[in-house]
Amino acid sequence: MSAAYVVFSRDHWFFTRMTDMAAIESVIIEVAPAIQVAEAFYNDVFSMGSRVQVRSSEAPTTGFRGFTMSLVVSQPATVNSLIGNARDAGATVIKPAAKSLWGYGGAVQAPDGTIWTVASSSKKDTGPADLQIDAIVLQLGVADVAASKQFYLDRGLTMAKSFGSRYVEFDTGPVKLTLNKRGALAKTAGVSPDGTGSHRLLISGDAGTFTDPDGFAWETPLT
C-alpha cells in the first residue's frame, strides 16, 4: 500500500507519493563443486546468514564474472580483520587493503571465485576492530549504466544516488544494489575486466523474475 504526503521546504512545497520499495532479500552464489566449503566460508568468515546463500552449479565461467560483493564497515581495523580472516580461511588477497581518496579498503577472492571488497569511508581507527558489517552491497558491472538504471527504475527499484553514466545506487533494503561501468568495477577490485560465461549469481527479491540487459537473473523467492 502507498501513502501520500506533503513535503515543505523554505520556499515551496511539493506533493509526492511514497510506495513500497523493491528489496533484495538475498543473493545466491552458484558454486562448484564444494558447496559445503562455500557455505562455511560465508557463515564463519563474513557471518552472512540468509543474506548470502550458495547453491551448486556447473555453468561454465571464466575470468571476471561482472559483479563484486562489498562489505562496508566503520574503520580500517575492521577492514584488516575481515580481510585477514578471509585469507586465513582460504581466500586470495587480490588487492591489499590501503588508503585511497575515498577511504580505506581492499579486495579478496573467495574460494568459490566470488570477489569481495571490504571498505570503510574512514581512514583512521576510532577503536578496536569489532567485525561489525554496516552494509552489504551487490555491485553490478554493466555495459550501459544509464540504460540499466532505467531498466531497474521501470521495475520499481528506488534510486538513492546517481552520478551520470558512471554510477547508480538503489535503496533495496537488506542488500543494496549499485550499477557501475564493468571496467571501472574490475579496476576497483584489482582484476582484469575480461570474462565469459555465467555470472554464477542469482538475485532474490520482490522486484519480480526477470533477466536484466547484462544477463543478471532475478527471482521472486518462494513463500
DSSP letter for each residue of 86-134: HHHTT-EEEEEEEE-SS-EEEEEE-TTS-EEEEEES-SS-SSS------
User: How confident is the prediction along the chain (223 residues), in pLDDT tens digits per residue?
Assistant: 233 333 333 333 333 333 467 899 999 999 987 789 999 999 999 988 899 999 999 999 999 999 999 999 999 999 999 999 999 999 999 999 999 988 999 999 999 999 999 999 999 999 988 889 999 999 999 999 999 999 999 999 999 999 988 999 999 999 999 999 999 999 999 999 999 999 999 999 999 999 999 999 999 987 6
Where does residue 154 rank: exposed (0-12), middle (13-18), buried (19+ CB within 10 A)?
exposed
This prediction's pTM = 0.88
SS3 content of the chain, % helix, strand, coil (to 5): 20, 40, 40
- Is residue 145 within 8 A of residue 167, CB to CB? The reply is yes
